[in-house]
Amino acid sequence: MKLSTKPMCVFLASIALVPLAATTARADPSGEYGYYNGQTVFFVSAATKIGAQPRLLDVASKIYLVTFPTALGTDVPITLPSGYQPQENGNMFVPYPWHDHVLPAVPGPGYSPLMQVVVLRYTEAYAASLTFTPVTSLPEIEAGKLGGIFEVLSPGAADPYELLLPVVLIRPVVRF
C-alpha cells in the first residue's frame, strides 16, 4: 500500500467545487456513520462552515476524520488486508475519500454540535496489518498516538499527529 498525501491546495480546491451560500454548505440529509466510545452511531449534518473564524474554532470540540493510506490513483472503495472497510469508502466528492469518523460526544450534558475537523492518518504498516482494528473512541486515539499507529501530519505542532482544519461541522442529531 503506498501512501497518497493530499496537499492543502488540493483540499481547498476540492472545497471550492461544493456549492456554498457564503461559506456555509448544507450537508447530505441522509447522514453518516461514526464511532463514539466504541459504538457505531448515525449522525446527520446540519451545515459545514469552511474557513471558520478563530473564535468559532475556539468553542468547537473536535471531530476526527481518521484517514487511510491509499495507493496513488485509487478511486474505488478499499478493503484492508484485515477485511475492514472504512465508513467513508471512496467518496471522491470529499477531500478525504477514505476515512472513519470519531465523535467526541453525543447529545446530552457537555455536548456541542459545533465540531472542528481534525485529520489523523493511519500508518501504512498498521493499515496493512492483518490485525488492524479501527480506533472508535477518544481514549483509543490517544493510545494510538503513543502506540505509533498514526503518521505525523503536522511536524512541529503541539500534536504532530493531528491536522487541524479551519472547518467546523454542525452535527445536531446523533442516533445509536
C-beta separation of 136 from 102 below 8 A: yes
d(CA 153, CA 121): 8
**Residue 43 pLDDT:** 86
**Residue 174 pLDDT:** 67
Give every residue of the chain whose pLDDT is below 70, as ranges: 1-29, 172-176
Name the pTM for this structure: 0.81
**Rounded to whole angstroms, what are the CA distances from 128 to 27, 70, 149?**
32, 10, 11
**Residue 176 pLDDT:** 60
SS3 content of the chain, % helix, strand, coil (to 5): 15, 30, 55
Name the residue type at position 37.
N
**Residue 26 pLDDT:** 38
**Residue 13 pLDDT:** 26
The three cell numbers of residue 152 are: 505525523
* pLDDT tens per residue across span 47-91: 889 999 999 999 999 999 999 999 999 999 999 999 999 999 999
**Residue 128 pLDDT:** 97
